[in-house]
Amino acid sequence: MSADTTPGTRSAVKKTAKKISLLITGSGGREHGLAFRVARSPLVDRVYVAPGNAGTALEPGVENVDIQPMDFDALLAFAREQQVGLTIIGPEMPLVAGVVDRFQAAGLACIGPLRLAARLEGSKSFAKHFLEKYHIPTAAYQVFTQPNEAIDYLQHQQYPVVIKADGLAAGKGVVIAADRAEAEGTVKAMLGGTLVGDAGSRIVIEEFLVGEEASFIVIADGVNYVPFASSQDHKAAFDGDRGPNTGGMGACSPAPVVTDAVHQRILDEIISPTLSGMRAEGHPYTGFLYAGLMIDAEGMPRVIEFNCRCGDPETQPLMSRMKSDLVQLCLAAVKGELANQTIEFDRRAALTVVIAAEGYPGNYDKGKMIEGLDDIIDETVKVFHAGTVVKKNSVKKSNMKKSSTEKSRVLTNGGRVLGVTALGDNVTDAQRKAYAAVQKLKFSGMRYRTDIGDRAVRRESLVENSVAIS
């Protein structure tokens, strides 16, 4: 996907505008997606990613910096030294720990919620109490810290039931228990500290919602917001939504389940009351707000969870489709000036297939050579990197084939390795292109789901058939 195929806004912005340096923290596919998009902004002259991955290292206009996202002192020192004009925080943990508070206190622009607003993700019980207080639709629930009380409660529940650790648990804090025995075992393991440590010292037990999931992300300035296009994640490890929960094995945008009517309901019944509720609580929400939603058969959206940052892998298709200047939007959000901003997405659909290392989300090997990155030449395809690293000390041999550019020195370095993303006329077309590109890639132990986007594709064919009939 070249800059030309995803028209940017270079020509739309005055040439005289002072350009800024920009810092992104994190090292996943989301951060590569964000870096790819902001590097195309006419407002930016340099993009740093701390610590980044091989994809950000090789991305034109982007440079990696060896600082971890939780090392706030080092990030602040770097931002001051390099006169960084905007920092975008990728992952949730630093947000929940108050990184934006630190940047703000230092007078540095940083997009994300303050610590107390980030509790929408950092504490499931905070989020559930908040949703209840402001009558925002969500699953019925109870909060527990005592195993006996939780086990009593389980006697009167319908199954399956959902058990969630209150705190951040890196995707391992949600268990859908099929029956009472499994639920009791999970409650004991979470509250006993053996499943997710301290994050499980308080738990939420909630009703299992039925429907189709969608992700809905907005950028907010505390009062106003601008919604992104809808998207859909695929969280289970294996085809047919089977296997353990992962960070996300693929995503597409738009999510056809989010029709225009559903979109409006999400804005009116979820996003607007959430932002006004957070204001009423004295914690106006600034930054990216991600609502994980369940849409039922009647098109009613309910909140499954909030995240206080962009989704991974949803960001990859979203950044591929975004035509507006993300930097302009972030700067407006930080200044509380989103009211007059608009946002535009490419009318085409985008789909990302995550390529993972065998064993993920459990144990997996690292350091496998990735082949085929140079063979993907379709301009509507972009391979975003996640767990990758450029091989150190690799010497370019003089007899190397011309096509052996730097990309051929990329090694695996994580569970989710790549996010192969394609733009297409609709999700069906984007899916075909993304999987064609996946065939060109190879590393030992490579695996991926083969059904990313199938739900969206089914909805598209239903619409096509009904148009044909009418």
Asked if residue 101 lies in contact with residue 286, where contact means CB atoms within 8 angstroms, the answer is no
Asked if residue 118 lies in contact with residue 112, where contact means CB atoms within 8 angstroms, the answer is yes
Binding residues for ligand AMP, rule: CB under 6 A, are: 139, 162, 174, 206-209, 213, 235, 245, 292, 304-305
CA-to-CA dists, residue 328 to 29, 221, 359, angstroms? 22, 13, 40
Site for ligand GLY in 216-235 (CB under 6 A): 233
> Taking CB within 5 to 8 Å according to partner kind, which of ligand GLY, ligand AMP, none is near residue 312?
ligand GLY
Please identify, using beta-carbon distances, which residue of 139 and 441 lies nearer to ligand AMP. Answer: 139
Q: Is 295 left (phi over 0), alpha (psi -120 to 50) or beta?
A: beta
> Taking CB within 5 to 8 Å according to partner kind, which of ligand GLY, ligand AMP, none is near residue 139?
ligand AMP
Stretch that binds ligand GLY, among 102-110, 304-312, 338-346, 367-375 (CB under 6 A): 304-312
Please identify, using beta-carbon distances, which residue of 166 and 213 lies nearer to ligand AMP. Answer: 213
CB of 92 to ligand GLY, least distance (A): 8
> Taking CB within 5 to 8 Å according to partner kind, which of ligand AMP, ligand GLY, none is near residue 314?
ligand GLY
Among positions 52, 113, 248, 287, the unique one binding ligand GLY when judged by CB under 6 A: 248
Q: What share of the chain is helix, strand, coil (3-state, %, to 5)?
A: 35, 25, 40
Query: Within 13 Å, how many C-alpha atoms sit on residue 267's CB side?
Result: 15
Peptide bond into 273 cis (omega under 30): no
| DSSP 8-state code for residue 415 | S
Per-residue binding letters, 311-330, with ligand GLY (x by CB under 6 A): xx-x----------------
3-state secondary structure 17-70: CCCEEEEEEECCHHHHHHHHHHCCCCCEEEEEEEECCHHHHHCCCEEECCCCCC
Position 167 contacts ligand GLY (CB under 6 A):
no
Asked if residue 375 lies in contact with residue 440, where contact means CB atoms within 8 angstroms, the answer is yes
> Taking CB within 5 to 8 Å according to partner kind, which of ligand AMP, ligand GLY, none is near residue 37?
none
> Taking CB within 5 to 8 Å according to partner kind, which of ligand GLY, ligand AMP, none is near residue 230?
none
On the 0-12 / 13-18 / 19+ scale of CB atoms within 10 A, 225 is buried
Q: How far apart are CA 372 and CA 368, in angstroms?
A: 13
C-alpha of 395 from chain center: 35
> Taking CB within 5 to 8 Å according to partner kind, which of ligand GLY, ligand AMP, none is near residue 245?
ligand AMP
> Any alpha helices (H) in 110-227, and if so which ranges?
119-122, 124-133, 147-154, 180-191
CB of 9 to ligand AMP, least distance (A): 33
# chain residues binding ligand GLY, by CB under 6 A: 6
CB of 367 to ligand AMP, least distance (A): 30
Please identify, using beta-carbon distances, which residue of 90 and 277 lies nearer to ligand GLY. Answer: 90
Residue with tokens 């370019």: 396
CB of 452 to ligand GLY, least distance (A): 12
Which parts of this chain interact with ligand GLY (CB under 6 A)?
Answer: 233, 248, 307, 311-312, 314
